[in-house]
């Protein structure tokens, strides 16, 4: 069973870059059976898809965030990462890393709360 | 762009049946599969329905999903409600290659 776990700073200053890493265990990141993604949830609000990255490095991003988002995979470390630049208070959210199988976000991390504040 | 609209909240009594709708606009609900996720307070979401009407192993058969192309909507039906079903429920689908979530529905079992 695949397990994913987010890590990274819980506090980021406005205008700076948010960087998170997701550690993967129990599944091969090189497998075409899986894809990897990020989803966030502002406090008290709904889920917002950030983007996906596939085993060959293809990426898809939410059009509203595309200009500020970068995702990458490091199969040697069993990790994938998220970078979100020029953050504002509106980027304060619980950030989840996920493993997708077929049409479904099958495996979720527990989430990491990132607060944007000076 | 596809927009998925859910009721903000629904409530029902234990033992009863509730249906949560997910209505598509600017697109056809039947074009791509719909998934449903349950999120209990303080926890990450989990899948309760995938590909319109399939239940993952471990999800009780009290949960069912359906698509109604005439109303351009998907539905999640939970029968024999239990207090443990109280949670937020999100539908999710795709618009071309983009992932779209509904706004979520808070289910209260009282």
| DSSP string for residues in B28-70 | -TTSS--EEEEE-TTS--EEEEBTTTBPPTTS-TTEEEEEETT
pLDDT at A91 over 90: yes
Beta bridge partners, A114, equal A93
**In this structure, is the dihedral angle defined by the CA atoms of residues B90, A66, A43 and A114, taken in order, positive or negative?**
positive
pLDDT digits (tens, 9 = 90+) for A38-83: 999 999 999 999 999 997 889 999 999 999 999 999 989 999 999 9
- Chain A residues within 8 A of B45 when measuring between CB atoms: 47, 96, 105, 108
* Interval B51-73: pLDDT, tens: 999 999 999 999 999 999 999 99
Judged by CB atoms closer than 8 Å, whether chains meet at A102 and B94 is answered as no
Where residue A118 falls among pLDDT bands split at 50, 70, 90? very high
Q: Collect all residues of chain B within an 8 Å Cβ-Cβ radius of residue A95.
A: none
Q: What is the pLDDT of residues B75-109, one digit of tens each?
A: 999 999 999 999 999 999 998 879 999 999 999 99
Q: Residue A28: helix, strand or coil by DSSP?
A: coil
pLDDT at res. A56: 82
Task: Determine which of A39, A105, A110, A112 to mutate to test the interface with B (most B C-beta atoms within 10 Å).
Answer: A105
Q: How far is B64 from chain A (nearest CA, A)?
A: 16
Burial B12-41 (b: 16+ CB within 10 A, else e): beeeeebebbbbbeebebeebbbbbbbbee
Using 50, 70 and 90 to split pLDDT, how confident is the model at A95? very high
B5 touches chain A (CB under 8 A): no
Closest CB to B44: pick one of A46, A60, A108.
A108
* pLDDT on residue A57: 85
Q: Where are the beta strands (DSSP E) in A1-118?
A: 3-7, 11-12, 18-25, 34-41, 48-54, 59-61, 69-74, 79-84, 93-101, 104-108, 112-116
Task: Test A103 with B33 for CB contact under 8 angstroms.
Answer: yes
Nearest Cβ partner of B103 from A46, A63, A110? A46
State mean pLDDT over A77-105.
Answer: 96
Residue A30 has what pLDDT? 84
A24-38, B1-15, B60-74: least confident range: A24-38
Exposed / middle / buried, residue A117 (Cβ in 10 Å: 0-12, 13-18, 19+): exposed
List residues in chain A touching B: CB distance below 8 A. Answer: 37, 46-49, 52, 60, 62-63, 96, 102-106, 108-111
User: Phi, psi (5° rounding) for residue A78?
Assistant: 55, 50
How many C-beta atoms lie closer than 10 Å to residue B66's C-beta? 14
Give the span between the Cα atoms of A93 and A106, in whole angstroms: 21
Q: Are B74 and B21 in contact (CB under 8 A)?
A: yes
Residue A100 has pLDDT above 90, yes or no: yes
According to DSSP, the residues that pair with A97 across neighbouring strands are A38
Within 16-55 of B, beta carbons closer than 8 Å to A belong to 32-33, 35, 37, 39, 44-47, 50-51
What is the structure's pLDDT at B107?
98
pLDDT at B102: 97
Q: For position B1, what pLDDT does the model report?
A: 83
Nearest Cα to B47, choosing from B7, B90, B81, B79? B90
How many whole angstroms separate alpha carbon A70 and alpha carbon A62?
11
Question: Rounded to 5 degrees, what angle do the CA atoms B9, B29, B60 make?
Answer: 55
The per-residue pLDDT for A71 is: 96
Specify which residues B57 forms β-bridges with.
none
Residue among A37, A46, A108 whose CB faces B104 most closely: A46
């Amino acid at each position: 069973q695949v397990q994913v776990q987010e890590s990274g700073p819980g506090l980021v200053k406005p205008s700076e870059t948010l960087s998170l890493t997701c550690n993967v265990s129990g599944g091969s990141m090189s497998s075409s059976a899986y894809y990897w993604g990020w989803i966030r949830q502002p406090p008290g609000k709904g889920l917002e898809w950030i983007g996906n990255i596939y085993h060959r490095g293809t990426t898809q991003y939410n059009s509203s965030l595309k200009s500020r988002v970068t995702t990458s995979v490091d199969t040697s470390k069993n990790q994938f990462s998220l970078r979100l630049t020029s953050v504002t208070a509106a980027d304060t959210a619980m950030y989840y890393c996920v493993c997708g199988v077929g049409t479904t976000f099958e495996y979720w991390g527990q989430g990491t709360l990132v607060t944007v504040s000076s | 762009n596809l927009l998925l609209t859910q009721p903000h909240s629904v409530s029902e009594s234990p033992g009863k049946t509730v249906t949560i709708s997910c209505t598509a606009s600017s697109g056809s609900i039947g074009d791509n599969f719909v998934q449903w996720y349950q999120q209990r307070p303080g926890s990450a979401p989990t899948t309760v329905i995938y590909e319109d009407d399939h239940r993952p192993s471990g999800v009780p058969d009290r949960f069912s999903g359906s698509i109604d192309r005439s109303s351009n909507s998907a539905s999640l039906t939970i029968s024999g409600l239990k207090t443990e079903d109280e949670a937020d429920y999100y539908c999710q689908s795709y618009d071309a290659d983009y992932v779209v979530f509904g706004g979520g529905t808070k289910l209260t079992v009282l």
